């Protein structure tokens, strides 16, 4: 579990104060949860990168209790003056006014009903959602305005909102993608300790699919030497659970993510750690990360090509990825007032 001293140095601070004296013999305490409520100024983030399949996204929370060691969003905590290690895992910012901000955005005449990703960085169904219900309140706004939405999550809690997701699927467009990069729970718990058990995620996928909601699987990140051999089994289970789409992304280790991932890799998989590091460098042309658009999501070389071919082979065998991208379809967006004016 995350411990209170595991934070890389802050990029924007000239001083760094350790919480615990390293000379102490006692083990560090488990990192406790700290919730920070925020009245956000805006809620829609606009993406300018050509290798991301959506233009707009919403992140109701900053930081994530799932504590995935590979999370590419970790460096964003530095902009809050917080660490990217256990601060990111346990100091969670809640945007309490998210729903009202989204409604304001939808009421602007400039809004054309673009597909919105929920979330683009941290999980919108992390455990705090059970109390705050920020994501549910956002879905209520999406349903009222019939705006297309795509959700990605590691948490089976998404079934709580089956009623709203069903409404959105019937009256607008909605896709729920489950992030499931591991087939083995014991391995997953070492890398993404706060996420729902794998069986629970597939069970939630099945429940949504049975209700007529479009579901998919994200096999991301692919960590060579750790989970790349699990892709076929995961795709088979996803198809059985009703998934119609799938995608893969190679492990990304930008900025402070690298030391967090590397430390936990060595602790959790000491016999595999060097093999994984060498495989990453092989696919990243000798580096541990590639940040350039168009390159950061994929690798290079024979091993990455074999992974891509394996993925495409099984996706084709299972008949997945046959539909159009949500962002390319006509919008279903309608303003409620505009509808009332017709009667």
* DSSP, residue by residue, 165-202: HHHHHHHS-EEEEEE---S-HHHHHHHSTTSPPHHHHH
276: left (phi over 0), alpha (psi -120 to 50) or beta: alpha
- Predicted local distance difference test score (pLDDT) of residue 26: 41
Look-up of token digits 């289970």: 237
* Average pLDDT along the chain: 90
Helices marked H in 65-159: 86-90, 98-107, 129-132, 134-145
Give pTM, 2 decimals.
0.90
Mean pLDDT on 28-50? 85
Percentage of residues of the chain with pLDDT beyond 90: 82
Radius of gyration of the chain (CA): 20
- Predicted local distance difference test score (pLDDT) of residue 272: 97
| Backbone φ, ψ for residue 280 (5° rounding) | -60, -45
Give the pLDDT band (50/70/90) at residue 31. low
Residue 279 near residue 225 (C-beta atoms within 8 A):
yes
Residue 159 near residue 196 (C-beta atoms within 8 A):
no
Give the pLDDT band (50/70/90) at residue 338. low
- Predicted local distance difference test score (pLDDT) of residue 19: 34
| Residue 125 three-state SS | coil
Domain locations in the chain as residue ranges: 34-320
What H or E segment, with its residue span, contains residue 80? none
- Asked if CATH classification 3.80.30.30 holds for the domain at 34-320, the reply, yes or no, is yes
Q: From the centroid of its chain, how far is CA 116?
A: 14
Give the pLDDT band (50/70/90) at residue 292. confident
Angle formed at CA 264 by CA 263 and CA 268, multiple of 5 degrees: 125
């Amino acid at each position: 579990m995350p411990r209170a001293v595991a934070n890389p140095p802050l990029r924007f601070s000239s001083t760094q104060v350790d919480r615990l004296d390293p000379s102490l013999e006692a083990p560090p305490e488990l990192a406790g949860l700290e919730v920070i409520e925020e009245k956000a100024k805006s809620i829609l983030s606009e993406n300018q990168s050509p290798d991301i399949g959506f233009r707009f996204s919403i992140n109701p929370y900053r930081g994530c209790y799932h504590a995935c060691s590979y999370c590419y969003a970790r460096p964003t905590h530095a902009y809050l003056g917080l660490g990217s290690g256990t601060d990111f895992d346990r100091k969670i910012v809640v945007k309490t006014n998210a729903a009202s901000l989204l409604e304001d955005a939808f009421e602007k005449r400039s809004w054309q009903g673009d597909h919105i990703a929920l979330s683009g960085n941290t999980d919108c169904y992390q455990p705090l959602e059970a109390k705050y219900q920020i994501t549910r309140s956002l879905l209520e706004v999406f349903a009222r305005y019939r705006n297309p939405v795509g959700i990605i999550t590691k948490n089976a809690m998404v079934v709580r909102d089956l009623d709203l997701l069903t409404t959105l699927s019937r009256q607008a467009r909605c896709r729920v993608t489950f992030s499931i990069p591991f087939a083995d729970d014991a391995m997953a718990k070492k890398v993404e300790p706060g996420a729902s058990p794998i069986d629970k995620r597939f069970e939630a996928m099945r429940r949504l699919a049975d209700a007529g909601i479009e579901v998919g699987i994200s096999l991301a990140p692919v960590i060579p030497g750790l989970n790349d051999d699990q892709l076929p089994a995961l795709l088979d289970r996803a198809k059985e659970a009703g998934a119609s789409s799938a995608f893969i992304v190679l492990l990304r280790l930008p900025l402070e993510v690298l030391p967090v991932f590397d430390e936990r890799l060595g602790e959790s998989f000491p016999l595999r750690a060097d093999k994984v590091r060498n495989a990453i460098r092989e696919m990243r042309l000798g580096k541990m990360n590639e940040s350039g658009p168009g390159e950061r999501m994929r690798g290079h070389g024979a091993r990455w090509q074999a992974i891509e071919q394996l993925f495409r082979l099984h996706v084709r065998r299972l008949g997945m990825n046959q539909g159009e991208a949500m962002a390319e379809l006509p919008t279903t967006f309608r303003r409620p007032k505009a509808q009332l004016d017709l009667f």
